[in-house]
Amino acid sequence: MVDNYQGAGVESWEILNCSPDLPYPFPNSSLLTPSYSIAIAMILCIGNILNPTELETTIAKLEMAEFVDGKATAGWHARQVKHNTQLPQGSPALAIVRDIIDAALQRHALFQMAVRPYIVRPVTISRYDIGMSYGTHIDNALMYDPLMRSDVSMTIFLSDPTTYEGGELIIESTQGEVAFKLPAGSAIVYPSSTLHRVEAVTQGVRLAAVTWIQSLVRDPQQREILFDLDTARQTLFEASGKTPVFDLISKSHANLLRQWTEF
């Protein structure tokens, strides 16, 4: 886990405005960059998780790969509504793409700060052709190989959104449903406790990488508090340097992280 983000300040973050339906600007956002947008419960859209070279290499490998029925990796209840294909275990392309994405996530300070990853499951590569979808489901709470608890779900969009119709990721909440369809190379992270689905693709092909994370901080509200404090202290540091106020915020951030972290 990265816990030192100095040199990768908030001005360099690529936090996308996930959807016109989400609150923007976020309350108390005067200290933050204009591109900052976050919904409740730590739904966060991050631009350019993959750089252009990584994205190009990934797409090239997937274009030559053979996909199989995706039902095999779904839970018994989700299997009834899962209609897509995915790269099989043992696929040479899958091994290469996993290495690319794993390296990208390890170096990405914003992902590390927002998610606080303890275990990151190797990615699954999904393909949705015309007519394919993934109906409403909840991700498995426990996963195996490795044994882990799913706290955070993540989708990395690999296809240019202008090349396919449909295929939106729909996340349900008490505020209603929100649709997400991000630029290629961008990602969304959201609590695994939410019901969600992928709408049917009506034109083109939707490629995505999905993974699940056990966080050092399992509660999404606690992760949001830590994220807000970290954002505030870094913005303050960039504006004024190491001040007594910065030290006080850093103290609170560190002590909350110490209190809430689980191994």
Q: Which residue numbers belong to the known binding site for 2-oxoglutarate?
A: 206
**Which parts are annotated binding residues for Fe cation?**
137, 139, 196
HEC per residue, the chain? CCCCCCCCCHHHCCECCCCCCCCCCCCCHHHCCCCCCCCHHHCEEECCCCCHHHHHHHHHHHHCCCCEEHHHHCCCCHHHCEECEECCCCCHHHHHHHHHHHHHHHHCHHHHHHHCEEEECCCEEEEECCCCEEEEECCCCEECCCCEECCEEEEEECCCHHHCEECCEEEEECCEEEEECCCCCCEEEEECCCCEEECCEEECCEEEEEEEEEECCCCHHHHHHHHHHHHHHHHHHHHHCCCHHHHHHHHHHHHHHHHHCCC
**Which parts are annotated binding residues?**
137, 139, 196, 206
